[in-house]
Structure 1
Amino acid sequence: MTAIALTIAGSDSGGGAGIQADLKTFSALGVFGTSVITAITAQNTQGVRGVEDISPGMIAAQIDALYDDMEIGAAKIGMVSRIDTITAIADGLRRYHVRPVIDPVMIATSGDRLLQPDAIDALRTKLLPQAVIITPNLPEAALLSGMPLAEDETQMIAQAEILLRTGTDAVLIKGGHGTGPESTDLLLDGNSLVRLSRPRIDTPNTHGTGCTLSAAITAGLARGLPLAEAVAQAREYLHRALQAAAALAIGKGSGPVHHFHGWWR
């Protein structure tokens, strides 16, 4: 059977993040990609110029069209900018008994806000309880947990434990926004803690890293990997994509990671 993954996210006209990054990641990892578009953004490597939301009815129709026809092995959720969007997705997931990977996209790499402030509580209460794993970076984990930005691993663990109480099966707090020679992510599932470290890569081309990692985890789950193995393989894929990002010369700002580093020469 062909492995199929679904991304529910916003479109990035610059091609480095969002739906575009997710579909590239799925393809790079040998998984057929499908999509539910939640919003259209006008953006490039320098920033977001505009956001136009897709109607809740059309979001629901996209979800129904896919699940009525295909055997989708795993799904992820990215950019969901407003309460109506979150409600439509949460209702759709319940209809088909889906526990997705959730990348709580709140702020773009450029610093532009992608989640409306009044939607944070809806994300926390309506979507996180349905997740198989959530993958916040340090600023996102702080906002969702209601705590200051974590400055060490003890604080990261404390925030992850708060987020586990929302009902999600697991939390992967990413340390990419931290400092030091290593970037350390922490994976907690309520029973165990796994510390995942790799040397930090000094590159300006980091656009779409969060989307890419969560999509890679989703691809692993769609192929039937256990969650911890899917996370480990996804981190390795992103690490190599960041290493190869310097080979791309795209835009005047923060460029994308190299999703097809294993194929382009």
Structure 2
Amino acid sequence: MTVRVLALLVRLLARDGWGRAMLAEVAALEEPRAQRRFALGCVGALLTRSASWLRISGVLLVAAVPTLLFAGPGGSGDVAGLAIAGTAIAVCLVAVVHVEQMPVVARAACAGGCLWWAGLLASEAVRSHPQWALALLAACVAAAAWRGGLLAALGAAFVTCLAIFVVAVGTYAVLPQLAPAVAPANAVHPVIENQIESTDPYVGELLLAALFGIVLIAAIRTTAGPMAQPPRNR
């Protein structure tokens, strides 16, 4: 049990040779008490790494999605829509574990999320044109690609889409009066209907995040496959 729990944490927080060395070391210990003591030390070491906290932040970002999506007005939609959203969230949970070059990805996603949030708070034009987020996404991906290459760009695309979804839907949840006036004039609850209609376009960001997540997982597994194969004897 100790080895399995540590393996789960290493999978989440340390996708590198150091994490694999931890697992090999704890598996070599035969006494359960020694295994537990060593595993606790490993967990403490993992939690002192900045990359670990960045990955935990990514998990929390994904965890915010269902709260914002299902707890707000209009969250109990049709079954098909809920199934699609649930599948996208599940994909994002898997993909966040596969993100590599976390510092580069985190800087790009934080910049994108903060800029979009500032735009939502300051500009009615930004609130009325959610499609402008795609231009910001492209800029964040380009910056990540320049700093870290393809895997960093895919990770930045995935996390930035999540960040834009969370800041937009979260802003309209806390400040529904900021939502653009898109409800019909005869609406019974115009503020609520404006909030629902204004958050709908950002569901596309969630689906886009899931799509980038799938591509990221495939790319990571493709590049890791040849490295994981042992050399052949000649």
The bucket for the TM-score relative to the shorter chain is under 0.3
TM-score (norm 2): 0.27
Structure with the bigger percentage of helix: 2
